[in-house]
């Protein structure tokens, strides 16, 4: 379909882009056609995957093609090719979710997406009250001054106490840097690490972090993760500046890093003069009797950078997170970011700090945790009733999502499309793997932050009905 | 004082750090001692400047030494060495200003700092009203969903109209990316530019941008700027990905780039396949009859990235700015940042968009502009009355700051310290030069965003009195 001339003056990307575009315009590529996958086309043409990726992305932006559920691209205009901006779930502390844009899909009544919440979760009345108070006559001049790059002192003091009580984190407020999301914290770290542009991360792991590290020119060392934990042996020989991990609730498997592996990780960091970036992304949601202590609380050698967020406890649209820097990084931090200002509005921080100081935040977190504990329990119970031992649930006891493991050989792409037809959206695990193609095809990702208990039960029952032929 | 052993096991940085620290602890380096400058010490010891910088920064963080007005460091505890966290002005869209921490210097009654505003400037009542409305029962689910990475659609639509009317910027809302400050926008651009890690910027120019580019591993190509404009000839042969400039009101000189040079710049960008980053940091404050059109409005080849901010018109603590991407960068932007979310709280954006839609923002900007026009005029007039032709004012007709040029040979360090003793703070231009040492010593930087007309007059009169011996 596409012909490449490597000696031509036009770049490879443009050749691909222009030929497909003209094919669509002239009708020689019919509407609804499924284009070859990026990997396939790059192999066929003998060009880099990025080249094909770039051409497809440009065509998608211009509306010629649209991403197809699962994988690949369809030529726009075909009957089954509605243009969807967001096809993958929105994990951890970021998201491609296009709140201003996203066309509401009327037929999806049960969306097991991850990370978004019903608006009733947000404490609007308290927020309104504290906003009004913060803007009263006694407002300090901070309202119209550039802010401390680490964030409001009062909020950092609240956080210091909160993190110590809830997660055993030991730090002073001088080590805390308030940010506008995980991406902000990792941006700062990537710049702090400077020349050593190689980082380890879990595979599978949070794809947003992977994208960010790549954007900073970092190469990735993959740490194989599964339901039983994390393979750490390869770390010793890897020359990396840091390991980005989710030890308390591995994303997406949901496993907890054992105390033995925690110690191993801390020892490695000390011996190799590297850091551990501990992303405690859903720390508020522990349904087990004994909460897992943070890795930071075990660290005696200034090796752990602890990161947490208000995205799961208050709202992902609030854009407030926090990072605890080891003391040994503070001098470099102050030197390199001397002209930086906090990325978070002073008013937002002031309201949040008042909300915490009043005790309302702690009560809100307890309320949210018990609400989601019920949803978690209902999910587990309904799955057992509907699927018995045909489906294994990974990630129990914490968080806001599950991995569903089906018998090997199950065609999960077909499961997803059958669910979609019945108004239930479940998600592919592909984005979480370093190479999408490595993602096992017998896993499905389901979040339950957006649905209530009734909807969770109904959704799972529908899945049982439409999946009956596939998994029996 | 410090002895370096290049063969020792201890790093050079640690050797310097430990020797000075122990010298201070044992008293062999007396309190109040002025340490040799970074450049001087690095030359004396034959080590890199960064090494000395790092040692000094660590000592400063630990409270052993403190930055000295102008340059250098003093051993803490001496009579004239109060520990000041912020010694340089806070220009453009960021700042080291430590609102939560900064000890108020009681004796400074007239602070000609730049970029911070009196809190009375902020429209608190309107903000409270719109916040309450935005949090009312009809709040959309966006409140608890991850946000579009480009920002709220309604705010981008308001901005699109506003920028077209006020600055002639031509774009669709799909090209606008709302950010949490200039640093955010430049972060995105540094990652977008990828491999071509060399950028041109004005010298002198905004030091915050310089710090940021360095943090991303970019090297800098200096474009000499003075009161008459910008030297562009060196651009042709420079292999750079972008030129970061302030064409409407050069920072800090305040000159306006001529239409002839604008065209030259646009032609260069097209020929060399490079971009122009137009930082229109104080676009609201034009006191001349004819406002200068934005460079973006003249661009026909998708070469200009336009950046503006709400920091000067509403508050630097609001942390909202915006960037207009050329269409040709959109595909890369969407591909590389697919997992990113807006860095600005949905609620802040919603309130701002309501404030703009109601027409209040436009009125607020007009009010601020005429208030600061009066301050500008008073500044010009009082300077002329007090100093006659002994001081030349650069940057008239726009903005919120001036450069004061004294006769060559004037010792501005002495001027600054005499002013400080009399309760008036004025600022060094050193931070704006690529190499601080290149900063001419007959220039002084003064902002007038924080002082009212009466204070401006009083401050300048005091300066006349205490500077009388120096500049006559």
pLDDT in tens, A69-83: 656 788 875 333 333
Q: Choose between A440 and B384: higher pLDDT.
A: B384
**Given the DSSP bridges, would you call strands A304-309 and A229-230 parallel, antiparallel or unpaired?**
unpaired
For chain B, give the longest Cα–Cα distance: 70
- pLDDT at residue B88 greater than cutoff 50: no
CA atoms within 13 A on the CB side of B238: 22
Please name which of B168, B199, B188 lies closest in space to residue B272, comparing C-alpha atoms.
B199
3-state secondary structure of A160: helix
B388 within domain boundaries: yes
Task: Kindly tell me the sign of the dihedral angle through the C-alpha atoms of A362, A365, A370, A373.
Answer: negative
Nearest-neighbour CA in chain A from B347: distance (Å): 7
Run of H or E including B220: strand B219-226
B85 within domain boundaries: no
Cβ(B65)–Cβ(B35) below 8 Å: yes
Find the domain containing B25 and state its range. 12-75
Strands, E, within A192-267: which ranges? 198-203, 219-226, 229-230, 242-245
- The CATH number linked to A45 is 1.10.10.10
Asked if A308 and A195 sit in the same domain, the reply is yes
Share of chain A above pLDDT 70, in %: 91
- Please tell me which residue of chain A has the smallest CA distance to B139: A119
- For range A147-172, the mean pLDDT: 96
| H helix intervals, B62-142 | 124-134
Output the DSSP codes for A399-418.
SSEEEEEPPTT--HHHHHHH
Nearest-neighbour CA in chain A from B389: distance (Å): 34
Q: Enter the pTM of the model.
A: 0.81
- Please tell me which residue of chain A has the smallest CA distance to B337: A211
Nearest-neighbour CA in chain A from B9: distance (Å): 16
Identify the domain boundary among A48, A75, A102: A75
What CA–CA distance (Å, rounded) separates B158 from B355?
10
Q: What is the CA radius of gyration of chain A?
A: 24
The total of other beta-carbon atoms located within 10 Å of residue A378's CB is 19
Residues of A in Cβ contact (< 8 Å) with B135: 124, 127-128, 131
Asked if B313 and B374 sit in the same domain, the reply is no
In terms of C-beta density within 10 A (0-12 exposed, 13-18 middle, 19 or more buried), how is residue B418 classed?
Answer: buried
Cβ(B248)–Cβ(B280) below 8 Å: yes
CB-nearest partner of A317 from B142, B149, B187? B142
A225 within domain boundaries: yes
Cα-based angle B228, B233, B237 (whole degrees, multiple of 5): 155
Mutate to test the interface with B, among A212, A347, A349, A372 (most CBs of B within 10 A): A347
Q: Which residue has the tokens 């190509």?
A: B221
Asked if A40 and A126 sit in the same domain, the reply is no
Asked if A321 and A385 sit in the same domain, the reply is no
- For range A306-334, the mean pLDDT: 97
Asked if B347 and B369 sit in the same domain, the reply is no
- Please tell me which residue of chain A has the smallest CA distance to B175: A61
Helix and strand tally (H, E) in chain B? Answer: 13, 16
Give the per-residue pLDDT at B15: 84
Residues of B in Cβ contact (< 8 Å) with A122: 143-144
Asked if B411 and B274 sit in the same domain, the reply is no
Cβ(A323)–Cβ(A305) below 8 Å: yes
What CA–CA distance (Å, rounded) separates A369 from B421?
57
**Given the DSSP bridges, would you call strands B424-425 and B110-111 parallel, antiparallel or unpaired?**
parallel
CB-nearest partner of B101 from A153, A211, A338? A153
Cβ(B245)–Cβ(B257) below 8 Å: yes
- Please tell me which residue of chain B has the smallest CA distance to A51: B332
Say yes or no for a CB contact (<8 Å) between A317 and B345: yes
Nearest-neighbour CA in chain A from B260: distance (Å): 32
Asked if B376 and B460 sit in the same domain, the reply is yes
Output the DSSP codes for B424-448.
EE-B-SGGGSSSGGGS-TTEEEEE-
Mutate to test the interface with B, among A149, A193, A319, A364 (most CBs of B within 10 A): A319
CB-nearest partner of A339 from B128, B211, B341? B211
| Count of structural domains within chain B | 3
Say yes or no for a CB contact (<8 Å) between B341 and A319: yes
Residues of A in Cβ contact (< 8 Å) with B342: 319
- The CATH number linked to B136 is 3.40.640.10
Residue count (chain B)? 472
Q: How confident is the model at residue B77 (pLDDT cuts 50, 70, 90)?
A: low
Give the per-residue pLDDT at A61: 65
A126 within domain boundaries: yes
What CA–CA distance (Å, rounded) separates B33 from B24?
10
Mutate to test the interface with A, among B128, B143, B194, B451 (most CBs of A within 10 A): B143
pLDDT in tens, B171-210: 999 999 999 999 999 999 999 998 889 999 999 999 999 9
Say yes or no for a CB contact (<8 Å) between B191 and A135: no
pLDDT in tens, A98-154: 343 344 456 899 999 999 999 999 999 999 999 999 998 788 899 999 999 999 999
Mutate to test the interface with A, among B17, B96, B99, B196 (most CBs of A within 10 A): B99
Nearest-neighbour CA in chain B from A338: distance (Å): 6
Asked if B246 and B321 sit in the same domain, the reply is yes
- The CATH number linked to B461 is 3.90.1150.10
CA atoms within 13 A on the CB side of B167: 27
B423 within domain boundaries: yes
What are the contacts of A157-166 at 24+ separation with CB within 8 A?
A: A157/A353, A158/A353, A158/A356, A158/A357, A159/A322, A159/A356, A162/A356, A162/A361, A162/A362, A163/A306, A163/A308, A163/A324, A166/A283, A166/A284
CB-nearest partner of A95 from B90, B341, B348? B341
A82 within domain boundaries: no
Say yes or no for a CB contact (<8 Å) between A344 and B127: no
Say yes or no for a CB contact (<8 Å) between B99 and A142: yes
CB-nearest partner of B319 from A98, A141, A342? A342
Please name which of A10, A11, A36 lies closest in space to residue A23, comparing C-alpha atoms.
A36
Residues of A in Cβ contact (< 8 Å) with B215: 191, 336-337
Asked if A380 and A342 sit in the same domain, the reply is no
The total of other beta-carbon atoms located within 10 Å of residue A60's CB is 19
Say yes or no for a CB contact (<8 Å) between B180 and A180: yes
- pLDDT at residue B292 greater than cutoff 70: yes
Say yes or no for a CB contact (<8 Å) between A54 and B332: yes
**Mean of per-residue pLDDT scores for chain B:** 88
Say yes or no for a CB contact (<8 Å) between B148 and A99: yes
Residues of B in Cβ contact (< 8 Å) with A146: 90, 94-97, 99, 115-116, 311, 316-317
Q: How confident is the model at residue B310 (pLDDT cuts 50, 70, 90)?
A: very high
Give the per-residue pLDDT at B98: 39
CB-nearest partner of B316 from A98, A146, A331? A146
A105 within domain boundaries: no
Nearest-neighbour CA in chain A from B315: distance (Å): 5
Mutate to test the interface with A, among B146, B175, B279 (most CBs of A within 10 A): B146
Please name which of A417, A409, A394 lies closest in space to residue A471, comparing C-alpha atoms.
A409
Task: Kindly tell me the sign of the dihedral angle through the C-alpha atoms of A285, A319, B116, B191.
Answer: positive
CB-nearest partner of A146 from B95, B194, B344? B95
3-state secondary structure of A376: helix
Tokens representing B132 are 């309450």
Give the per-residue pLDDT at A94: 37
Identify the domain boundary among A309, A325, A359: A359
- Please tell me which residue of chain B has the smallest CA distance to A432: B339
Q: Which residue has the tokens 């002495």?
A: B414
Tokens representing A238 are 């890897």
Please name which of A67, A69, A36 lies closest in space to residue A416, comparing C-alpha atoms.
A69
CA atoms within 13 A on the CB side of B313: 24
CB-nearest partner of B53 from A145, A191, A335? A335
The total of other beta-carbon atoms located within 10 Å of residue A270's CB is 14
Share of chain B above pLDDT 70, in %: 91
Asked if B285 and B432 sit in the same domain, the reply is no
- Please tell me which residue of chain A has the smallest CA distance to B96: A339
B438 within domain boundaries: yes
- Please tell me which residue of chain A has the smallest CA distance to B185: A343
Give the per-residue pLDDT at A84: 33
Residues of A in Cβ contact (< 8 Å) with B211: 336-340
Cβ(A18)–Cβ(B299) below 8 Å: no
In sequence order, which residues have a C-beta less than 8 Å from that of residue B89 and are 6 or more positions away? B113, B114, B115, B401, B427, B431, B445, B447
Residues of A in Cβ contact (< 8 Å) with B347: 127, 317-318, 348
Give the per-residue pLDDT at B97: 36
**Given the DSSP bridges, would you call strands A401-405 and A443-447 parallel, antiparallel or unpaired?**
antiparallel
Asked if B196 and B285 sit in the same domain, the reply is yes
Buried-exposed string A331-363: b where 16+ CB fall within 10 A, e elsewhere = bbbbbbbbbbbbbbbbbbbbbbbbbbeeebbee
User: How many residue pairs from chains A and B have C-beta atoms closer than 8 A?
Assistant: 274
- pLDDT at residue A191 greater than cutoff 90: yes
Residue count (chain A)? 472
Output the DSSP codes for B132-169.
HHHTSTT--GGGGSPPPTT--HHHHHHHHHHHHHHH--
Nearest-neighbour CA in chain A from B167: distance (Å): 25
Asked if B418 and B344 sit in the same domain, the reply is no
Q: DSSP class of residue A298? A: G
Q: Which of B116-125, B318-327, B430-439 has the lowest mean pLDDT?
A: B430-439
ipTM for the predicted complex comes to 0.80
The total of other beta-carbon atoms located within 10 Å of residue B394's CB is 18
CB-nearest partner of A57 from B147, B316, B334? B334
CB-nearest partner of B344 from A101, A215, A319? A319
Give the per-residue pLDDT at A82: 31
Say yes or no for a CB contact (<8 Å) between B119 and A140: yes
Residues of B in Cβ contact (< 8 Å) with A217: 194, 217
pLDDT in tens, B355-371: 999 999 999 999 999 99
Identify the domain boundary among B301, B328, B359: B359
């Amino acid at each position: 379909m596409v012909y490449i001339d490597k000696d031509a003056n036009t770049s490879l990307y443009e050749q691909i882009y222009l030929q497909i575009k003209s094919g669509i315009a002239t009708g020689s590529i019919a509407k609804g056609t499924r284009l070859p996958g990026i990997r396939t086309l790059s192999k066929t043409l003998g060009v880099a995957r990025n080249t094909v990726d770039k051409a497809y992305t440009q065509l998608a932006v211009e509306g010629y093609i649209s991403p197809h559920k699962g994988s690949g691209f369809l030529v726009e205009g075909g009957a089954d090719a509605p243009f969807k901006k967001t096809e993958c779930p929105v994990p951890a502390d970021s998201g491609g979710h296009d709140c201003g844009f996203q066309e509401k899909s009327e037929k999806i009544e049960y969306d097991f997406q991850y990370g978004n919440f019903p608006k009733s979760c947000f404490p609007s009345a308290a927020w309104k009250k504290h906003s009004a108070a913060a803007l009263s006559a006694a407002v300090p001049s901070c309202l119209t001054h550039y802010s401390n790059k680490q964030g409001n002192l009062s909020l950092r003091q609240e956080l210091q106490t909160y993190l110590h009580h809830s997660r055993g984190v030991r730090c002073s407020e001088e080590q805390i840097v308030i940010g506008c999301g995980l991406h902000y914290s990792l941006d700062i770290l990537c710049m702090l690490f400077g020349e050593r542009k190689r980082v380890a991360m879990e595979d599978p792991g949070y794809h947003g972090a992977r994208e960010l590290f790549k954007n900073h020119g970092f190469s990735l060392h993959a740490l194989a993760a599964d339901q039983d934990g994390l393979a750490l042996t390869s770390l010793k020989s890897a020359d990396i500046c840091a390991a980005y991990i989710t030890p308390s609730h591995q994303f997406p498997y949901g496993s907890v890093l054992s105390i033995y592996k925690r110690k191993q990780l801390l020892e490695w960091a000390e011996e190799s003069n590297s850091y551990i970036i501990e992303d405690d992304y859903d720390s508020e949601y522990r349904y087990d009797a004994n909460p897992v202590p943070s890795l930071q609380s075990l660290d005696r050698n200034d090796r752990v950078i602890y990161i947490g967020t208000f995205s799961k406890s208050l709202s992902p649209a609030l854009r407030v997170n926090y990072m605890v820097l080891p003391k040994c990084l503070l001098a470099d931090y102050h030197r390199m970011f001397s002209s930086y200002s906090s990325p978070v509005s002073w008013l937002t921080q002031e309201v949040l700090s008042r909300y915490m100081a009043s005790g309302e935040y702690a009560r809100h977190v307890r309320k949210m945790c018990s609400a989601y504990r019920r949803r978690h329990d209902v999910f587990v119970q309904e799955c057992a009733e509907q699927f018995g031992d045909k489906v294994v649930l990974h990630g129990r006891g914490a968080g806001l999502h599950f991995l569903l493991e089906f018998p090997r050989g199950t065609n999960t792409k077909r499961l997803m499309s059958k669910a979609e037809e019945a108004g239930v959206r479940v998600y592919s695990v592909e984005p979480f793997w370093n190479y999408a193609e490595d993602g096992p095809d017998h896993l499905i990702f389901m979040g339950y932050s957006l649905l209530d208990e009734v909807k969770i039960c109904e959704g799972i029952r529908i899945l049982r009905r439409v999946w009956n032929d596939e998994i029996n």
